[in-house]
Amino acid sequence: MKLKVGLLGGGSWGTTVASLTSKNAKTTLWARNQETVDEINEHHTNSKYLPGALLHKGLRASSSIEEVVSTADVLVMGVPSQHFRDVLKDAKKYIRPWIPIVSLAKGLELGTKMRMTQIIEEELPGHPAGVLTGPNLAKEIHSGQAAAAVIAMVDKTIAKELQGVFNSGLFRVYRNTDVVGCELGGALKNIMAIATGMGDGANAGDNTRAALITRGLSELTRLGTAMGGRRRTFAGLAGMGDLVATCSSSKSRNHHVGFEIGRGKSLEQIIAEMNEVAEGVKTAKAVMELAKEHNVSMPISEEVYKVLYEGNSVYDAFKGLINLESGSEAEPG
C-alpha cells in the first residue's frame, strides 16, 4: 500500500517537495491562498514562487487543512519556522495517531530557541519527528539538475520508509539518525549565507567568500556539537553541503539578503521586496542567545547580528573580523 502524503505550505520549497513526492505517493498540498490552490490543480504551476516550473500532474492542492491532514500517512511541514507551531496546532486536531511528521524548515523558533522537531515533540508527543534537509535549491531541482538531501530521524526503519517517499530520479535522499546535527546545520548555515552575501555585494572577492564559508563551518560545528550534534554530520550534506550551496548561489534567499545589504540597501527595504522568508534574519537572534548559553565563540554570526540589528555597516563587520587575533585553525575564533 502506497503512503499518502500531506504537505502544509505552498512556498517554493514546499511545492517542490510536494511535486517530488507525487512521483512516489499520492500527495496533497495545503496552501492558504485559494488562487495558488486553483493554479496548482488547474495548470500544474505555482507561478508566484516557481515561475516557469511545471509541477507533477498527480499533485493536488487544497485550502482545507482538515482535508490534507486527516487522510495523510505522512505529514510534511513546509512552513517557515516562525509560523511552524501555529500551523502545527491547526493540524493537531485532524492528524491520526503515530503519523510521522517531517520538517522542511531551516530555522529556530524565536523566544524558545527550539528546533522544529522539538516543537513537534512538544505539540504532538508520540509522533515520530524528522527533518529533510541539505543543499537543495528549488529552482534547480525543477529544471532537472541533480541534487542530494538527507532525511534525519531517530528511528531507522521509519527513515528508510520515508527515504523511498522522497527519493526521485536525480533527487537522491540519504539517511541520518543525527536529527539535532542535521537540523542545526540547516538553521545555522543561513547566517553564514548572509555573511557571504554581504561580502559578494561589497565585491570582497572569492578569497573572502572561501574564508567565510570555511570559518563559518567551524562556527556552526562548534555550536552544533555543543548542543548534541555529531561532528561528522557537519561535514556532510546537512552541514558543508548546504553551507556551500547557500553561500555560493544567487538563488539563495539568505545570500540575497546579504548581497543587497552589501550593496547598501536597508534590511527593511530588502524584506519588503521579497515574497518569501529568509530564515537566517530571525535565526541570527536565537543563535546569539544559544552561543552565549553554551559559551561558544561565533564571531561571524556576531558580526552579522550587529549588521542586522545594531546598525553596523558591512565595513564594520569585516573590520571586526579582521581585527580578531588569528589563533590556531583547530581552536575557536
Binding-site annotation: residue ranges for NADPH:
12-13, 32, 49, 106, 138, 253, 277, 279
Residues making up the binding site: 9-14, 32, 49, 106, 134, 138, 189, 242, 252-254, 277, 279
Q: For residue 178, which phi and psi values (nearest 5 degrees)?
A: -85, 80
Adjacency order of strands within the sheet including 60-62 = 60-62, 26-30, 4-8, 74-77, 101-103, 129-133, 147-152, 171-176
Number of H helices, E strands in the chain: 15, 8
Set 48, 139, 156, 189: catalytic member: 189
Please name the residue that has the C-alpha cell 567568500.
Answer: 209
Which residues, 6+ apart, have CB-to-CB distance to 322 below 8 Å?
none
For 166-291, strand residue ranges (E) read 171-176
> What DSSP designation does 239 have?
I
Q: For residue 175, which phi and psi values (nearest 5 degrees)?
A: -110, 155
Distance, in Å, from the CA atom of 25 to the CA atom of 205, rounded to the nearest integer, reads 45
Which residues share a beta bridge with 61?
A: 29
Residues making up the binding site for substrate: 106, 253-254
Instruction: Report DSSP letters for 85-139, one per residue.
Output: HHHHHHHHTTPPTT--EEE---S--TTT---HHHHHHHHSTTS-EEEEESS--HH
Residues making up the binding site for sn-glycerol 3-phosphate: 106, 134, 189, 242, 252-254
Q: Is 189 a catalytic residue?
A: yes
Q: Which residues are known catalytic residues? A: 189
